[in-house]
């Protein structure tokens, strides 16, 4: 097999096909380390795709704000006096100073620390010092308001935004990945929405953002990395005195890996018909009652649908979720080709008993984030793989994505390309989407032209 030729510092449109060779299952290491490609990603992907910004439970009151990120930009998510949520660029229109330097809080107005221009809670420029004497009273306030996102969606409490006014509506963008993401956002007992963020972990790791996004598409193949965690048993439950594994709930389930035409990918599980609650917290009656109620009520509400148990997934490009435990969303914010800022938002049912919230909070920390045992395993892989892929010789050799080539069906009720075996098809689907953005395709192309079959026919 020929090695893939390295590309120069300035990849051209035609280089994308050389970088992403899906037919043969090879992807160039350049896309994980090359600064020029990184710059193009920010321009071609992060200014167009829908990005996760935060959760409405983080800003429950009027005047509440949470500073977030979209790609490499700082943005403010804010609730105005009327209760409407806005997202705008955290950069003053005068000389670019951050108008808000706090992570979160409550305010009646944003005052720029540099020369004191002030902006209202919906981003409008309000006050300009010496407006009459220095600007002849004619400075156009509307034209100098904070830059607002082109579209914003509140989906079951999660706030998403895009800079592209031509982007499809958020639900169209989600496509058939919706029912998988749903169950990270819905209450444990099957009620729609009703979750709240109980904390956000933020940390930086020395690796490309796509290592993390790809891992959460459903790279089940890396499970040996977590062998020590599984042996110790850090799962949320302690079944009949045994240590909880990470995946107790899915032990007897049939696993599915799905790639969607928009570039999203998920790993979910379908439980057998006879799936009963397993006693898990016998020495903690409040937890036992809560988890049993959630399990049985979810079955009652969703019927057959309750058998679908989402595990992990990535909504293209950089928002991943854990659907069961720990439950939450993670945004992988690119800093540089080899540096990523991870923000993990942990979710619980807003009306869960305080004992359950506290129990889950501890489990989330034990599992995820910079101190979480499982996330440490994953990050170790990403950062060593990055360090070992920046060398001149290493960069000449592409990564191998040949696992389970062609082993999927496009004729499954769950939609997309469904694999019933461990597969890299979801990663190949993610990079197929990545290549479409990098080629600057229209939204019809980015959405896969409706179906994978139609798309393939068009190609
Ligand atoms: Fe904000 Fe000058 S930079 S007022
Ligand atoms: Fe992992």
| Pocket of ligand 1, beta carbon within 6 A | 92, 94-95, 97, 112, 114-117
Using the atom order of ligand 1, give the atom closest to the CA of residue 97.
3
CA dist 431 and 418 (Å) reads 17
The answer to whether 100 and 69 are in contact (CB under 8 A) is: no
CA dist 34 and 47 (Å) reads 19
Q: Are strands 399-400 and 417-419 parallel, antiparallel or unpaired?
A: unpaired
pLDDT at residue 196 in the model: 98
Q: Please tell me the distance between residue 374's alpha carbon and the centre of ligand 2 in angstroms.
A: 6
Output the residue whose Cα is nearest ligand 1's atom 4. Answer: 115
Nearest ligand atom owner, CA of 219: 2
CA dist 395 and 328 (Å) reads 34
**DSSP class of 241:** G
The Cβ of residue 420 has, within 10 Å, a number of other Cβ atoms equal to: 14
Judged by DSSP in three states, 44 sits in helix
CA 202, 204, 209, 214 dihedral sign is negative
Q: Which pLDDT tens digit goes with each residue over 339-361?
A: 999 999 999 999 999 999 999 99
Q: Please tell me the distance between residue 207's alpha carbon and the centre of ligand 2 in angstroms.
A: 15
Query: Looking at the chain, how many residues does it have?
Result: 459
Q: Please tell me the distance between residue 173's alpha carbon and the centre of ligand 2 in angstroms.
A: 26
Residue 144 neighbours by CB under 8 Å, 6+ apart: 93, 94, 125
Q: Please tell me the distance between residue 241's alpha carbon and the centre of ligand 2 in angstroms.
A: 25
Output the residue whose Cα is nearest ligand 1's atom 2. Answer: 115
To test the pocket of ligand 1, the residue of 117, 127, 139 to mutate (highest count of ligand atoms within 8 Å of its CB) is 117
Nearest ligand atom owner, CA of 214: 2
pLDDT at residue 97 in the model: 98
Using the atom order of ligand 1, give the atom closest to the CA of residue 99.
1
pLDDT at residue 234 in the model: 73
The answer to whether 319 and 283 are in contact (CB under 8 A) is: no
Q: Which residue shows structure tokens 């935004």?
A: 161
Q: Please tell me the distance between residue 220's alpha carbon and the centre of ligand 2 in angstroms.
A: 8
Q: Please tell me the distance between residue 216's alpha carbon and the centre of ligand 2 in angstroms.
A: 8
To test the pocket of ligand 1, the residue of 74, 101, 115 to mutate (highest count of ligand atoms within 8 Å of its CB) is 115
CA dist 222 and 424 (Å) reads 11
* Positions in the chain whose pLDDT score sits under 70: 1-14, 235-249, 450-459
Nearest ligand atom owner, CA of 146: 1
Q: pTM (2 decimals)? A: 0.93
Output the residue whose Cα is nearest ligand 1's atom 3. Answer: 95
Q: Please tell me the distance between residue 80's alpha carbon and the centre of ligand 1 in angstroms.
A: 22
Of 328, 91, 386, the C-alpha closest to 210 is 386
The answer to whether 368 and 375 are in contact (CB under 8 A) is: yes
Residue 180 neighbours by CB under 8 Å, 6+ apart: 258, 266, 268, 308, 310, 313, 323
pLDDT at residue 251 in the model: 72
The answer to whether 318 and 215 are in contact (CB under 8 A) is: no
pLDDT at residue 4 in the model: 43
């Amino acid at each position: 097999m020929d090695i893939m030729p390295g590309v120069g510092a300035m990849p051209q449109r035609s280089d994308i096909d050389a970088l992403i060779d899906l037919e043969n299952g090879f992807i160039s290491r350049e896309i994980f380390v090359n600064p020029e490609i990184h710059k193009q990603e920010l321009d071609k992907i992060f200014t167009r795709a829908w990005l996760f910004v935060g959760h409405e439970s983080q800003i429950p009151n009027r005047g509440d704000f949470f500073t977030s990120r979209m790609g490499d930009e700082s943005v403010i998510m804010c609730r105005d006096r009327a209760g409407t949520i806005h997202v705008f660029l955290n950069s003053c229109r005068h000389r670019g100073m951050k108008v808000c330097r706090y992570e979160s809080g409550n305010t009646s107005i944003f005052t720029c620390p540099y020369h004191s221009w002030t902006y209202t809670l919906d981003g409008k420029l309000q006050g300009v010092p010496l407006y009459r004497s220095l600007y002849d009273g004619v400075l156009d306030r509307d034209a100098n308001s904070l830059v607002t996102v082109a579209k914003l969606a509140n989906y079951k409490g999660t706030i998403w935004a895009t800079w592209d006014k031509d982007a499809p509506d958020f639900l169209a963008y989600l496509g058939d990945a919706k029912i998988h993401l749903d169950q990270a956002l819905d209450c444990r007992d099957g009620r729609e929405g009703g979750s709240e963020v109980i904390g956000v972990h933020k940390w930086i790791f020395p690796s490309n953002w796509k290592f993390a996004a790809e891992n959460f598409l459903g790279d089940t193949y890396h499970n040996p990395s977590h062998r020590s965690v599984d042996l110790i048993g850090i799962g949320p439950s302690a079944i009949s005195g045994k240590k909880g594994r990470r995946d107790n709930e899915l032990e007897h389930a049939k696993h599915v890996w799905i790639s969607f035409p928009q570039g999203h990918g998920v790993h979910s599980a379908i439980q057998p018909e006879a799936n009963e609650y397993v006693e898990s917290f016998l020495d903690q009656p409040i937890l036992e009652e809560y988890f049993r109620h959630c399990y049985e009520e979810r079955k009652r509400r969703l019927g057959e649908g309750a058998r679908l148990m989402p595990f992990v997934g990535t909504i293209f490009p950089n928002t991943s979720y854990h659907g069961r435990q720990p439950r939450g969303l993670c945004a992988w914010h690119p800093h540089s080709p080899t540096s990523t800022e991870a923000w993990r938002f942990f979710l619980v049912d807003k009306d869960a008993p305080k004992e359950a919230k506290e129990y889950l909070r501890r489990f989330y920390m034990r599992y995820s984030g910079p101190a979480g045992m499982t996330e440490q395993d994953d990050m170790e892989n990403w950062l060593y793989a990055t360090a070992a892929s920046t060398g001149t010789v290493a960069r000449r050799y592409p990564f191998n994505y040949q696992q389970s080539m062609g082993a999927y069906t496009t004729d499954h009720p769950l939609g997309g390309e469904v694999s019933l075996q461990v597969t890299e098809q979801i990663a190949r689907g993610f990079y197929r989407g990545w290549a479409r953005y990098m080629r600057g395709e229209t939204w019809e192309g980015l959405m896969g032209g409706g179906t994978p079959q139609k798309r393939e026919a068009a190609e």
